[in-house]
Amino acid sequence: VAFPAFQRTRALTEALAALLSPEDATVQSMPDASPAKWHLGHTTWFFETFLLEPFQPGYRPFHPSFPFLFNSYYETLGPRLARGQRGLLTRPSLGEVLAYRRAVNEAMGEAWPLLPGVLAELGLGHEEQHQELLLTDLLHLLSLNPLRPAYASLARPGGAPPGPLAWVAHPGGTVAIGHEGPGFAFDHEGPRHLCHLRPFRVADRCSTNGEYLEFILDGGYRDPRWWLAEGWAAVTLEGWRAPLYWEGDGTDWKVFTLAGLQDLSTGDPVCHVSYFEADAFARWAGARLPTESEWEAAAQGSSPAGGGLDPMVLRPRPAGPGTSLRQLFGEVWQWTASPYLAYPGFRPAQGALGEYNGKFMINQMVLRGGSCFTPRGHTRPTYRNFFPPQARWQAAGIRLAEVS
């Protein structure tokens, strides 16, 4: 990986944050979401901690308190600010955090020839993950602001609405899934291994707002038959009656986006649903969610080109006509029926970076594909994302599957 790639990635984060006031960048809307200022600092701390300190002789950290403020979850690296308190960082100022970025960017430029390429790539992949989180966390924050502010004036995705859902058959059998070099992947994407799949079919596109609206109008949120017990408990406790960010009643719905409150478009993929909602919708539709191995087997040979983060759009685009597999990458993450677990033979790295993924392999479900907030070039067919089943603030949607 070349230094200009580092510069481009760092500049995109800064460009995404440049539209924010210092106040926008400081407030935390819930413990799951972090302020933009924290994302800006944390991604910088990552390069400082995992690249500059070990590999640049004589490197002096920018500020003695920043490791405490910007360490996310690395127990090996010592105590840190509690996750739910990241919104209390009225100091350092946004300007000081941006100065921290500039200093580390400059030091990275000097150190670049000394740095192990695989760790530099990990740092870039990490920064890209936080670009996505910066946007989804910001959407949550702005959605709670009584002024209903837009982050930016954005283009509405165009295109004809998709036709009826079609199925793409897969013969099943023994398939290899998971990453095996060359090219960068996160540790949990491997080792590559064999799975046995029964024949199955996957939907040619993601489920739409219009299809999900039928579930709502059919009383889907009032009928426990469709729901897992924990999902029904969440519906009851949280009062869910539509995806997160939908506003309205009956048939007249609006949706809050980074462009502010917009009319709901029935052809767009449904987004901001929990695993519980995706699973209930699938059961209501007489289908199910794909397992992650089915999803990956179906996606093998498909390219993630197209879709992904376009700072002028920032919402999922409709599938358009066709019956080939569409919207695999870069519109909405697709919940799978698979719990997030280690692949056979997985071994976390030695040291603090072993905490990157492995310790989160409990009580979460795998999502595949990538969303309209996922930086271009970040995702791939083996990519595994994971969130708890009740999480709704990520850009997660639904691709149906069924037995052939």
Give the interface with Fe ion as residue ranges (CB under 5 A).
72
Pick the closer one to Fe ion by CB: 131 or 336: 131
DSSP 3: H
Give, rounded to a whole angstrom, the gap between the first and last alpha carbons of the chain: 43
Distance in Å, CB of 133 to Fe ion, minimum? 8
Pick the closer one to Fe ion by CB: 96 or 355: 355
Burial classification of residue 331, based on how many CB atoms lie within 10 Å of its CB (0-12 exposed, 13-18 middle, 19 or more buried):
buried
Distance in Å, CB of 333 to Fe ion, minimum? 18
- Helix (H) or strand (E) holding 216, with range, is helix 209-217
Distance in Å, CB of 130 to Fe ion, minimum? 6
Cα dihedral 229, 231, 234, 239 sign? negative
**Spatial CA neighbour of 195 closest among 169, 160, 170, 168:** 170
**Spatial CA neighbour of 100 closest among 136, 54, 46:** 46
Tell me the three state secondary structure of residue 275: helix
Pick the closer one to Fe ion by CB: 72 or 385: 72
Pick the closer one to Fe ion by CB: 38 or 215: 38
Distance in Å, CB of 126 to Fe ion, minimum? 6
Pick the closer one to Fe ion by CB: 40 or 299: 40
Distance in Å, CB of 19 to Fe ion, minimum? 22
Tell me the three state secondary structure of residue 203: strand
**Spatial CA neighbour of 76 closest among 340, 364, 350, 341:** 350
DSSP 260: E
CB 175 within 8 A of CB 293: yes
Pick the closer one to Fe ion by CB: 72 or 374: 72
Distance in Å, CB of 43 to Fe ion, minimum? 7
Pick the closer one to Fe ion by CB: 3 or 73: 73
Q: Read off the tokens for 280.
A: 């209930």
Tell me the CA distances in angstroms from 104 to 49, 74, 270, one per residue in order: 11, 20, 39
DSSP 274: -
Residue 297 CB neighbours (<10 A): 22
Residue least distant from Fe ion (Cβ): 72
Distance in Å, CB of 110 to Fe ion, minimum? 24
Vertex 94, ends 88 and 99: CA angle to 5°? 130
Pick the closer one to Fe ion by CB: 205 or 384: 384
Distance in Å, CB of 42 to Fe ion, minimum? 6
Pairing of strands 167-170, 200-203: antiparallel
Distance in Å, CB of 70 to Fe ion, minimum? 9
Pick the closer one to Fe ion by CB: 129 or 266: 129
